[in-house]
Structure 1
Amino acid sequence: MKKSFLVFLNTLLGVLLANSQTGLWSGDLEVMGVKLPLVFHLDDNNPTLDSPAQGARGVPIQIKRIGTDSLSITVPSIRATFRGKYESEHITGLFTQNGFQVPLVLTPGEKTLHRPQTPKPPFPYGQEEVSFSNGDAVLKGTLTLPEGYSRETPVLIMITGSGLQNRDEEIFEHKPFAVIADALARNGIASLRYDDRGFAESTGDVVNCTTADLMNDALAGINLLRQKFNKVGALGHSEGGTISLMLGADNKVDFIVSMAGMVISGKETLLDQNHYTLIQNGYDQQTVDEYCDLLSLAFDNNNSVSQKLESSTLPAELKQNLRMVIQQSKTPYMQYFISINIMNRLPDITSPVLALNGTKDIQVSYEKNLGALSKGLPSNIHNKIIPLDNLNHIFQNCKTGSLKEYATIEETVSPEVLEIITQWVKSLNK
């Protein structure tokens, strides 16, 4: 009888443990000091993964339960896996992607973040769902229309920064493009924001595309807007700011808003970013210099970089990182991005330009990039080049500018930035 009871108890315990691994579980991946929240929906019928920081939701996953206390999760679309063990209200394990392993601890439920600027209905303006095409890419987006709009209403197409992002340019549940579109509409300015190709509701090749393809995606949206509006501008953030300037150099837009747009070369920008990140993560100057020298060789496709890497004195984790970078630098996207240097095209931009950068932006240097614009743009009474004190790369008021702050700051976009953009666009139509 006692033995039968123990068998029953063990069976019941196994069922309880298996059931406890279902439902909503979340945790933070920490890479180079930056936390990336992940949310797993461990539903046996339709299991999915959310990455709120990237605006990615409902990514299909595969679950394999191992015994009564462990599980293995595969995310085919990003070639990642997680293997964990249930341990007293936690699932503890390793997240693996492209050969890298990062500890990950999941806890029940999902953290909620306060984002007070995210627009909430009812709205004093209209919104339409639209689509437009560039070759095989079909871009889906939202056209925001102020009350009483006409052909004379100014309109902006909004272009996201690097990496796959949705139409709101969502990051850590901040929705900066939704906030900007709301501010524009309340000031009589229309806008179009859209999901990047191959992301959310949009389709298109993301493996072989380059910044030039992304520019042509935006151009397809501009052509759509020209059917309704006489004055079409481009508002771009980061890489999107560069694309906006490229469109201006090609005389495709009537005015430009560049938010932390890269003007110096892609190579110099990436070297600056890596230098800062390594210093912030505690590596000594000699290690940082050695890493960046090898990174520069990789960007130049120098055949000696692999040999020099293996004989270098770099820590193992930085060697592994560089091996990945060497492979990534050979992709069409990276080859094009590294070579971008919009400074050579600045004299061709005759459209009015509003360029904004935060003084605490650690991803796109305000001094180098705004300085290059000041020197290179033709004279235009409407041009405004403005460094903004204490703002980071995504235009939040901040303390350090570190990526670590993005999620913890409740502000999505500085009200000062919203005011500058809306008033500048309105001034062009007086």
Structure 2
Amino acid sequence: MIRLLAIAALFVASPAVAAPTPVELTAPGPQGSLAGTLLDPDPKGPLVLIIPGSGPTDRDGNSPLGVAGGPYRQLAEALAAKGIATLRIDKRGLFGSEAAVADPNAATTGGYADDVQAWSKVARAKTGRKCVWLLGHSEGGMVALVAAQRPEGLCGIILASAIGRPMATVLREQLNANPMNAPILAPALGAIDSLEAGKRVPQASLPAPIQPLFADKLQGYWIDLMSHDPAKLIASVKLPVLILQGTRDIQVSVADAEALKRAQPKAVLTLLPGINHVLRPVASDDRRTNIATYADAALPISPDVAAAVVGFVTR
């Protein structure tokens, strides 16, 4: 089932729910506590666990690398207005979850999935729900797929702006898509080839502009991430799956969403016209305009995102 979302009017017309008070929760991490925020407007309604994307992304969806305005917080508030509870979390080793591990750069997809399982247990115990929904954004989609291989206590998964092809393939495509990368393209692609093969590359041997991307301390993370194939993972998922993909996402393409759908034909694929990677509306195909929305704290996310989630988890 593939559909273009056109239900914003229905979403707006449905009755609103009083805003709940945020509740701080903790879950056990490897070496210390993980931290998160629960918004629970209706104890009888669904509960969605929001899994952050790559890098230093906090529970609100903000990042010191250029994302502001709290897209995950905005999504949580929009869902709360429709009676849907959310739990949004800080990743191990970062922000409120800093004590969970000594080195956040040593994190792996499997480790993040373990944390999701820990959060699922805490959320169910705290709220009395039998299961929780996982919503993985960007890299969080891969984490959701790995976590869903152990489906106990999970209602289903929602993949928002999630890659559907191996990470090395997507990274090559991202680098090739930007003409400004021409001077560093050959060594960057060579580094990807090596990491995909499980081999590290001396950071000092790379051009300065790409050294932060392939820093020595991050190469274990890249090798681990590139070892997972999202198409193979989703093919083995037995839970309900919603694939959400914006048509103006310049980091993850519609082709990724379609690859996920092909691998799991029972999944629901919803395309969000004009929406970019951080779930915000973009008026044109101009790359600079698109990127400018990431740091625009005053720009809300599209209501179509929450509408799609509400429609799926309340079916």
- Contact 2:68 2:297 survives alignment (8 Å): no
- Contact 1:328 1:334 survives alignment (8 Å): no
Q: Which has the higher contact order (CA 8 A, sep 6+)?
A: 2
**Is 1:426 aligned with 2:314?**
yes
Aligned equivalent of 1:159, options 39, 51, 75: 51
- Contact 1:266 1:337 survives alignment (8 Å): yes
User: Match of 1:346?
Assistant: 234
Measured in 1, the distance between the counterparts of 2:250 and 2:32 equals: 32
**What aligned pairs does 1:110-121 form with structure 2 within 5 A after superposition?**
none
**What aligned pairs does 1:236-385 form with structure 2 within 5 A after superposition?**
236-252=136-152, 253-277=154-178, 279=179, 281=180, 284=182, 287=183, 290-300=186-196, 319-322=207-210, 325=213, 327-328=215-216, 331-367=219-255, 369-379=256-266, 383-385=267-269
Measured in 2, the distance between the counterparts of 1:416 and 1:375 equals: 23
**What aligned pairs does 1:195-210 form with structure 2 within 5 A after superposition?**
195-202=90-97, 203-205=99-101, 206-210=104-108
Measured in 2, the distance between the counterparts of 1:292 and 1:135 equals: 33
- Per-residue CA shift, 1:186-230, capped at 9, x if unaligned? 212111112222222212221322111111111110011222211
Measured in 2, the distance between the counterparts of 1:300 and 1:417 equals: 33
Higher relative helix content: 2
**What aligned pairs does 1:99-114 form with structure 2 within 5 A after superposition?**
none
Could you tell me which runs of 5 or more consecutive residues in structure 1 were left unpaired when the two chains were aligned.
Answer: 1-121, 311-317
Deviation at 1:404, TM superposition (A): 3.2
Higher relative strand content: 1
**Is 1:211 aligned with 2:109?**
yes
**Is 1:168 aligned with 2:60?**
yes
Deviation at 1:288, TM superposition (A): 6.3
- Per-residue CA shift, 1:214-266, capped at 9, x if unaligned? 11111110011222211311011001112112222332421111111122111
Aligned equivalent of 2:29, options 126, 134, 155: 134
User: Match of 2:272?
Assistant: 388
Displacement over 4 Å in runs of 4+: 301-306, 322-327
Gap change, CA 1:255 and 1:321, over 3 Å in 2: same
Deviation at 1:173, TM superposition (A): 2.8
Gap change, CA 1:223 and 1:323, over 3 Å in 2: same
Gap change, CA 1:373 and 1:301, over 3 Å in 2: closer
Give RMSD over aligned pairs.
Answer: 2.7
The code of the aligned residue for 1:157 comes to L
Measured in 2, the distance between the counterparts of 1:360 and 1:291 equals: 28
Q: Which moved more, 1:169-178 or 1:216-225?
A: 169-178
- Contact 1:158 1:191 survives alignment (8 Å): yes
Could you tell me which runs of 5 or more consecutive residues in structure 2 were left unpaired when the two chains were aligned.
Answer: 1-16
Count of residues in Structure 1 that have an aligned counterpart in Structure 2: 285
Gap change, CA 1:249 and 1:406, over 3 Å in 2: same
